[in-house]
C-alpha cells in the first residue's frame, strides 16, 4: 500500500454537475449538443409525467411515467430532487446518480431552478452551473417566440424570467449561452 495514498485503490467520489437556468435559455439545446458531440458524458435521465414529444424515446430523453408511478417513487425516497413545472412533474432518480459518483465518474443533470436548489441542499459539494442568456433582450426575444402569445402572457413570462435571472447569484458558475456549441464545450470542460 502507498503510505502517502492509503486509499489509492478506492476511487475519489466525483462531483455532480448541475445545469440549470431560466426558462427559454436553451438548456435542452446545450444538453442535446453534448449528447451529439460527447456521447461519453453521462447524463441523468429524469422521470416525468409529461407526454413524449415526437422523436423522444422512453429511457433516452426521459423515463415517461404516470403521476401515480411518479408519486410512488417520491414516497419511496427514490428522487434526489423533483419539481412541478408547467403542470407536469419532473424528477431525478437518485440511484443511477449515486452509482456514478461512487464509481468516480462524472454525472450531469439538466434541471429547472427549484430542483437545482434541492440538489444544493442534498449534495452541497455539487457544482451548480447557471446557463444565462447573452442579454435580457435575447431572452425576451426567445420567450416571445413566434408572437403567438397575447401581451398578458408575454408580460407574465418576462416577469418570471426576471425572477429566474436573479437566481444566478446562487450558482457556482455562470455560463453564457452565446452559441450552443460554445456553451456545450465549456460545460464539458467543467465536468469532473
Ligand atoms: P421539457 O418538458 O421542456 O423537457 O422540460 C421542462 C423543464 O423541466 C426544463 O426546464 C428542464 O430543465 C426541467 N427538468 C427536466 N428534468 C428535470 C428533473 O429531473 N428535475 C427538475 N427539477 N427539472 C427537470
Mutate to test the pocket of ligand 1, among 17, 90, 118, 121 (most ligand atoms within 8 A of CB): 90
Q: Are strands 16-20 and 127-132 parallel, antiparallel or unpaired?
A: parallel
pTM over 0.95: no
CA of 93 to the centre of ligand 1 (A): 13
Q: Whose CA is nearest to atom 22 of ligand 1?
A: 115
Please report whether residue 3 resides in a domain.
no
30-62 per-position pLDDT tens digit: 999 999 999 999 999 999 999 999 999 999 999
Q: Which residues are within 8 A (CB) of 90 and not within 5 positions of it... i.e. 6 or more apart?
A: 46, 47, 48, 49, 50, 82, 83, 84, 111, 112, 115
What is the total residue count of the chain? 192
Please report whether residue 62 resides in a domain.
yes
Copy the grid coordinates of residue 91: 424528477
Mutate to test the pocket of ligand 1, among 30, 46, 94 (most ligand atoms within 8 A of CB): 46
Of residues 7 and 50, more confidence is placed in: 50
Please report whether residue 7 resides in a domain.
no
Mutate to test the pocket of ligand 1, among 28, 87, 112 (most ligand atoms within 8 A of CB): 112
Dihedral over Cα of 67, 55, 177, 13: its sign:
positive
Please report whether residue 95 resides in a domain.
yes
The domain total for the chain is 1
Please report whether residue 5 resides in a domain.
no
Please report whether residue 8 resides in a domain.
no
Ligand 1 atom closest to Cα of residue 110: 12
Ligand 1 atom closest to Cα of residue 83: 22
133-180 per-position pLDDT tens digit: 998 888 888 877 756 667 887 788 788 888 999 999 999 999 999 999
Of residues 11 and 190, more confidence is placed in: 190
Q: Are 178 and 59 in contact (CB under 8 A)?
A: no
Cα–Cα distance, 167 to 120 (Å, whole number):
13
Please report whether residue 6 resides in a domain.
no
Coil vs helix vs strand at 81: strand
CATH of the domain at 138: 3.40.50.300
Q: What DSSP state is assigned to residue 43?
A: B
Please report whether residue 56 resides in a domain.
yes
Domain span including residue 175: 17-191
Amino acid at each position: 500500500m502507498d503510505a502517502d495514498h492509503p486509499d489509492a485503490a478506492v476511487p475519489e467520489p466525483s462531483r455532480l454537475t448541475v445545469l440549470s437556468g431560466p426558462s427559454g435559455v436553451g438548456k435542452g439545446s446545450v444538453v442535446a449538443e453534448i449528447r451529439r458531440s460527447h456521447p461519453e458524458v453521462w447524463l441523468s435521465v429524469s422521470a416525468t409525467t409529461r407526454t413524449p414529444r415526437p422523436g423522444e424515446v422512453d429511457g433516452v430523453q426521459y423515463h415517461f411515467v404516470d403521476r401515480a408511478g411518479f408519486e410512488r417513487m417520491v414516497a419511496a425516497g427514490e428522487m434526489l430532487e423533483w419539481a412541478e413545472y408547467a403542470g407536469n412533474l419532473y424528477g431525478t432518480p437518485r440511484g443511477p446518480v449515486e452509482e456514478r459518483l461512487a464509481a468516480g465518474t462524472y454525472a450531469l443533470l439538466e434541471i429547472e431552478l427549484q430542483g437545482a436548489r434541492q440538489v444544493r441542499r442534498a449534495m452541497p459539494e455539487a457544482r451548480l452551473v447557471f446557463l444565462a442568456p447573452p442579454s435580457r433582450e435575447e431572452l425576451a426575444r426567445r420567450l416571445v417566440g413566434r408572437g403567438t402569445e397575447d401581451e398578458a402572457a408575454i408580460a407574465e413570462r418576462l416577469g418570471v424570467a426576471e425572477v429566474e435571472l436573479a437566481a444566478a447569484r446562487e450558482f457556482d458558475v455562470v455560463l453564457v449561452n452565446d452559441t450552443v456549441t460554445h456553451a456545450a464545450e465549456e460545460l464539458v470542460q467543467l465536468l469532473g
